[in-house]
A = this chain, B = another copy of it.
Amino acid sequence: MIKAAVNGFGTIGRRVAYALSLQEDISVTGIVKNTPDYVAKLASERYNIYVPDGKRMEAFEKEGIKVKGTLKDLLAASDVVVDCTPEGMGKENLELYKERKVRAIFQGGEEKDVADASFNAYSNFEESIGKNYVRVVSCNTTALARTLFPLQESFGISEVNATLLRRATDQNDSKKGPINAVEPSLKIPSHHAPDLRTVMHGLNVETVAIKVPTTLMHVHVVEVHLSKPAQLRDIMDSWEARRRIMLISGKDGRSSTAQVMDMAREMGRDRSDLYEIPIWKESVTLNGNRLRYIQAVHQESDVIPENVDAIRAMFSTASAADSIGRTDRSLSIKGRVI
């Protein structure tokens, strides 16, 4: 049994803790929470609660939340920590993890040099085998790697151009914008292209990112130049063989991210999450070797399966196929066509 801690209990941390708690070979030793808010109160019904340091204890006790100890106590009881702290804090935490001899997983908000390897379950599981520090790439990069890797494997890719329509903020936030403007990231390529190359080395990719006023999902418009000629049917087959990709149709009502996320609610998923990357079938078009498609990304949850698989890679306890299968079964990722 691998003993795993979760440091940080925001959008990603709470979902990682949930997913880990479903695994037969992993136990959750506890979670670290910084503020004694409603999320902490509800979390205390399911997990051992720890605080970053002793100074935070009092605030939690005042709210009636039982605290088991500090981050250092939690690390002493854990084999690995999944760092889900805000962007940039992971790097600061790395020294502590090294000092305490605890392996660690970081999220995509960190720079790639925080870890020994960047991770995507489909494209480069093997590079994290036996590693002590691994970074799961961001939600957007994970989504691109998931749908591009099967194409690369089957047909080769000579060029990728992707436009990322990014959600403004997450559903539980009411502070950030934009709420009535479209905000392009003026750095081209956006940081997603080099990030994608950390899990698909040498890929010839450029990305443009634009923020739009929505909280539900990101949407990617992807253009791929395939190296070998391909039929549309073969392309679909390469995606259908992967459970974490979901081919959906706009015809049966799923014409926007509103209905795609409604589908997740109807599927009865924890927190109404959608771990899979949906691709709209109708958008998949081929002009010679030039393929185009549109996909959506539930930014809050698509990286969750990867955080589970990364642990098994680091501890060398399962092959890629075996780990992905176990993770998918635990989260009801069935690769089915709905």
Contact = CB atoms under 8 A, between A and B. Distances in A.
Given A38-B338, A41-B338, A180-B180, A174 B256 contact: yes
Interface string A255-277: 11111011101111011100000
B338 A252 contact: no
Contacts of A37: 252-254
B255 A174 contact: yes
A14 interface: yes
Instruction: Point out which of A35, A258, A261, A338 has the most chain B C-beta atoms below 10 A from its C-beta.
Output: A258
B270 A270 contact: no
Interface range, A side: 35 or more
Nearest to A40: B252
Given A37-B253, A39-B253, A253-B37, A265 B259 contact: no
Given A172-B259, A258-B172, A38 B272 contact: no
12 contacts: A14-B266, A37-B252, A37-B254, A38-B252, A38-B259, A38-B266, A42-B263, A42-B267, A43-B266, A174-B258, A174-B259, A271-B272
B271 A171 contact: no
A248 B37 CA distance: 11
Contacts of A43: 266
Contact of A173 (B171, B258, B272): B258
A156 interface: no
Interface of A: 14, 35-39, 41-43, 63, 171-174, 180, 215, 248, 252-259, 261-263, 265-268, 270-272, 338
A135 B215 CA distance: 35
A265 B271 contact: yes
Nearest to A271: B265
A263 B38 contact: yes
Contacts of A171: 258, 261-262, 265
A255 B270 CA distance: 24
B266 A42 contact: yes
A129 to B, nearest CB: 34
Contacts of A257: 174
Contacts of A259: 38, 172, 174
A318 to B, nearest CB: 28
A180 B37 CA distance: 31
A36 B252 contact: yes
A267 B42 CA distance: 7
